[in-house]
């Protein structure tokens, strides 16, 4: 076991933690905005999966990674538009709607992927991976440069999204209106402002971020697509919002904790340490359950979260 805790492996684990945490942060920040507006979007997993497939498919067809990322964002936003229409306009049960979207995305991506395999006659279509973009000078800092500043630009975007989101929520007029939506939407309505419009925009933003997170999983960290490739990361993003108590800075911490656990188990398997890897695979989800139990008594969830607003109610 002592050979595991070497300088090289520890740095590698921490660098992997930042990389693995990036899609979790992106999806969780998007979900935070939606939930602060009073809409709980359980369809994050499906939106990430849709973004994952479309990012891969468009990149494969066009050879352009940027086009793939753009398609992933648009595709996930279209799914979030369905979510918004059903939850805000029709005022249907938000939990059921989100679960239905997950099933829809799972079925569609599997069908499209099998259709692609039949079309090209290949079992392993590959794409070029999004290249790393080390930040000049900062990437040369000992230890920290490798861990934080030697990734692709999507990782940097994920990290920057946290302070940007925090500034928006707590330092701007629109952020105050958004937080008010989740606490008391009637106050927004009484000011003559559109509750539905602001909730639509919040949910669409959440979908865009989920699509971006999905694109990261396919074009940012893998050369091929695999059905159900998101592997529950959308659900983890929702847990991270709860574990982070609906605050951007703690969401960042929670995402990195889950990412560290995954990075740790991957390196344990790679080094070949004689330890039941199944336990390590389950560890992030066990910690997620514990985090939910811990936050239950001190939750700062928006008061109107999941409650469809109606002027007559």
Q: Tens-of-pLDDT digits for all 313 residues of the chain?
A: 555 567 888 899 999 999 999 999 999 999 999 999 999 999 999 999 999 999 999 999 999 999 999 999 999 999 999 999 999 999 999 999 999 999 999 999 999 999 988 888 767 788 888 889 999 999 999 999 999 999 999 999 999 999 999 999 999 999 999 999 999 999 999 999 999 999 999 999 999 999 999 999 999 888 889 999 998 899 999 999 998 989 999 999 999 999 998 888 887 777 666 666 667 677 777 777 777 776 665 667 898 898 888 875 5
The end-to-end CA distance of the chain, in Å, is 61
Query: Does the pTM exceed 0.85?
Result: yes
Nearest to residue 259, comparing CAs of 284, 279, 237, 238?
284
Nearest to residue 71, comparing CAs of 222, 262, 214, 238?
214
What are the chain's domains? 2-124+133-295 (1.10.3470.10)
Burial class (CB in 10 A: 0-12, 13-18, 19+), 67: middle
Burial class (CB in 10 A: 0-12, 13-18, 19+), 2: exposed
How many angstroms separate the Cα of 151 from the Cα of each of 48, 58, 157, 212, 280? 21, 23, 11, 16, 25
């Amino acid at each position: 076991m002592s050979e595991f805790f070497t300088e090289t492996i520890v740095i590698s684990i921490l660098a992997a933690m930042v990389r693995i945490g990036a899609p979790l942060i992106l999806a969780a920040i998007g979900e935070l905005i939606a939930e602060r507006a009073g809409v709980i979007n359980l369809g994050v997993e499906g939106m990430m999966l849709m973004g994952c497939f479309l990012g891969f498919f468009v990149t494969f067809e066009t050879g352009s990674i940027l086009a793939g990322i753009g398609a992933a964002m648009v595709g996930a936003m279209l799914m979030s538009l369905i979510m918004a229409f059903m939850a805000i306009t029709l005022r249907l049960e938000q939990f059921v709607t989100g679960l239905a979207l997950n099933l829809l995305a799972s079925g569609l991506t599997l069908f499209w992927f099998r259709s692609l395999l039949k079309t090209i006659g290949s079992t392993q279509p590959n794409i070029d991976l999004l290249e790393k973009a080390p930040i000049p000078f900062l990437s040369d800092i000992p230890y920290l440069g490798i861990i934080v500043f030697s990734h692709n630009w999507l990782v940097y975007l994920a990290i920057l999204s946290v302070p940007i989101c925090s500034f928006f929520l707590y330092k701007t007029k629109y952020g105050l209106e958004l937080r008010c939506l989740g606490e008391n939407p009637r106050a927004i309505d009484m000011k003559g402002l559109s509750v539905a419009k602001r909730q639509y925009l919040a949910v669409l933003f959440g979908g865009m971020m989920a699509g971006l997170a999905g694109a990261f999983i396919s074009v940012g960290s893998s050369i091929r697509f695999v059905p159900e490739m998101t592997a529950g990361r959308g659900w983890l993003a929702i847990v991270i919002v709860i574990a982070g108590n609906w605050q951007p800075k703690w969401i960042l911490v929670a995402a990195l904790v889950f990412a560290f656990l995954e990075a740790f188990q991957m390196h344990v398997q790679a080094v070949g340490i004689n330890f039941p890897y199944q336990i390590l695979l389950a560890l992030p989800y066990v910690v997620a359950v514990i985090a939910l139990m811990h936050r239950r008594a001190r939750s700062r969830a928006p008061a109107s979260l999941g409650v469809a607003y109606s002027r007559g109610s």
